[in-house]
Chains A and B, each alone.
Chain A
Amino acid sequence: MESPYKGKTGMKRVWNALFYSLAGLRAAIFHEDAFRQEVLLAAILIPTALLTPASAIGKALMISSVLLVLIVELLNSAIEAAVDHTSLDHHQLAKRAKDIGSAAVLLSLLNVVAVWVLVLFN
């Protein structure tokens, strides 16, 4: 079975996908307070990583770990929106989906701490 909302293929799809992605980014910034806070955090941490005396590979690791938080937050926000799309009522499985998604974000933040501590306090 195929979703009737599947769009174009090939280069046309790549182009459309870029616009959907930018719309998603705007939605996350607009609706997700957590995403805004993490963007702010990234705006501070990424220049900081570039200014540290870590090697190029160390800097790449530090920046990737910060970007991973944004990636995991976007996936978490997408799951939250999907759950709310199904129903806005309180439901055990809805709560579990959202709680576990938010646990993934917490682990991605722990990953930032682990990577930064290891790379900086070499």
Chain B
Amino acid sequence: MKSPNKHRPGLTHAWRATGIALQGLRAAWQHEDAFRQEVFVAAIAIPVALFSPVGAIGKALLISGILLVLIVELLNSALEAAVDHTSLEYHPLAQRAKDIASTAVLLSIVNALVVWGLVLLVHA
């Protein structure tokens, strides 16, 4: 079964997808306090990573660690919106979906802390 909301294929799709993604970033910024906070952290951490004396690979690891938190937060927010779209009533499976997705965000933050700790303390 094909969703009638699918977009056109090919490069037109890639171009439109970028527009949709930018609307998604705007929506996440407007509606998700956690995403705003993580963007603030990224805005500080990414320049810090670029100026730390850890080599190119160290920098790539530091920056990826931060971007992964933003990526997982966006997937978590998308899933929350999908669950709320299904129903705004309380349901144990809705609760579980949201709890598990937010655990994924927590793990991505732990990953960033481990990577930053190892790269900055051991490598520098």
Residue B17 at the chain A interface, CB threshold 8 Å: yes
Interface of A, secondary structure class, is helix
8 CB contacts below 8 A, A to B, read A58-B60, A72-B71, A93-B85, A94-B81, A96-B81, A97-B81, A99-B21, A114-B63
Residue A37 at the chain B interface, CB threshold 8 Å: yes
Residues of A in contact with B, size category: 35 or more
Q: Tell me the A81-104 residues at the B interface (CB within 8 Å).
A: 81-84, 86-88, 90-91, 93-94, 96-104
A32 to B28, CA, bound (A): 23
**A86-B86, A118-B60 known; A102-B75 Cβ under 8 A:** no
Residue from A90, A104, A119 within 8 A of B78 (CB atoms)? A104
A3 to B93, CA, bound (A): 8
Residues of A within 8 A of B23 (CB): 99, 103
Residue from B5, B71, B92 within 8 A of A88 (CB atoms)? B5
Residue from A31, A103, A119, A121 within 8 A of B74 (CB atoms)? A103
* B87 → chain A closest CB, angstroms: 8
Interface contact A106-B21, CB-CB below 8 Å = yes
